[in-house]
Amino acid sequence: MQSPRSFTVVMTLGLCIILILLSLVGTLAPAEGILRIPLTALEGIFGGATTDFTIFAEEMAEFRSLRLRNRELEKALAQYQSELADLRAFRSDYDRLVELSNYVGQKGSDWRYVTTDVIGRDVNGVVRTIHIAAGTRNGVQVGDPVVTELGLVGRVVDVSATGAEVLLITDVNSSVTARVQNETRESGLVRGSISGDLILDFVNINGQLAENQQVFTSGETQAFPPNILVGQISSVGISPNSLFKQATVQSLVDFENLDIVLVITNFEPVDLQIFEEPEQP
């Protein structure tokens, strides 16, 4: 006796065979047409959803890939920007050294120079000084003039084995004997001021001063070598006592942004005190 399960399997197979035969001879064509309509609709719905999901999944994968690539590009850009900044700094230092080298070459072999970095500054207070990374080990001494290719900077007022302090010519305690490059070669004294301006003072009242005339060290007091550019005249006036002409001198040196300077190490000022008459007892 057959079990119910076997009977069900046999009946199912038989029904399937009958339906296949009926479909082949076309008897089920109307029923198949009716069933095909909802099946086709369902196929379209699920097929479209599957396609949309596939496109969405591909777009999400592409988005994640682009975001990762963007992060990599941002890191590379930051690195390139850092390297570019370093290269610009190197180029700036190189250009400065070339300019200083050209200046030394133009001045000939009369002076010995030490090229050094500016490592500190005080240009906003009453005292206007800078600190340099060269000292007695480099041959630097108190009184040595300090210059750049743009002109006079100041002189060394204190020195250690590895560094020195330079009093800028813009300091109120600084003074430089100078001459004007004009037909009458007027002479005077360039002094600093609290504001940092350079004032050319004690010029002959009949002197022919004019704007844009250049001012150089005269070397008369032997505090500085002669013929070093101090600046150029920007305005002309009369002293408060009306005895002398005065002029404001504009230096070409940017004192607040000095980075490299030259120290003249073989300049020996003449000691004028030996020519002074001794005091009477």
pLDDT tens digits along 82-126: 777 766 666 666 565 566 666 666 555 678 889 999 999 886 667
Q: What pTM does this model have? A: 0.63
CB 245 within 8 A of CB 236: yes
CATH superfamily of domain region 114-267: Rod shape-determining protein MreC, domain 2 (2.40.10.350)
pLDDT at 105: 60
- pLDDT < 50: residue spans in the chain: none
| Count of positions (residues) in the chain | 281
pLDDT at 80: 74
